[in-house]
Amino acid sequence: MTEPDPFRVIFVCTGNICRSPMAEVVFRDIADKQGLGDRILSTSAGTGDWHVGEQADTRTIEALARRGYDGTRHRARQFTYDAFATNDLVVALDRSHERILQQWARDESEEGKVTLLLSFEHNPSVLDVPDPYYADARMFDEVLGMIESASHGLFGQLEPAIRPSAPRI
């Protein structure tokens, strides 16, 4: 019996150097620690092309490192129409990204893949992960905390469908 294709999640923010790289790295870490790193693939992209090819913002890499994550391999890229076809879930970091992605969707199937990360919080009081780009390192840490919490919620929703079932005897 062949293994099913991995479930693919792409996280999307504005420039793909702050929020979405954090979400990509955190979500991959959660999947790896739960033994599902080969069943779930996480990537990220930006709605804009300003930073394509660049590393994540230094403050992003530092915030991730303070919590034990490695964000040094990230290179920014822009979201393309093809990403709808190659991903099972398109996770927007705020409502402006959600609106853009829904406008870019070519049909209801693609539009249905778009969701907000903070909608996976148990009781979301806000729906937008704030952009820390113009803030200090403390804000990057706060944003990372929000992303970690919501990513655990997202993983909890996906895990039952992705975890291989035990063989029946």
Q: Which residues are catalytic?
A: 13, 19, 131
pLDDT at residue 162, rounded to an integer = 86
CB 146 within 8 A of CB 129: yes
Per-residue pLDDT tens digits of the chain, which is 169 residues long: 567 789 999 999 999 999 999 999 999 999 999 999 999 999 999 999 999 999 999 999 999 999 999 999 999 999 999 999 999 999 999 999 999 999 999 999 999 999 999 999 877 788 999 999 999 999 999 999 999 999 999 999 999 888 776 555 5
H or E stretch covering 19: helix 19-33
Q: Where are the domains of the chain?
A: 7-162
| CA separation for the pair 151, 23 (Å, rounded) | 7
Fold of 7-162: Rossmann fold (3.40.50)
pTM for the model stands at 0.94
- The pLDDT score that the predictor gives to residue 161 is 86
User: What is the distance between the alpha carbons of residues 72 and 135, in angstroms, rounded to a whole number?
Assistant: 21
Joined tokens for residue 116: 């907000």
DSSP state, residue 15: S
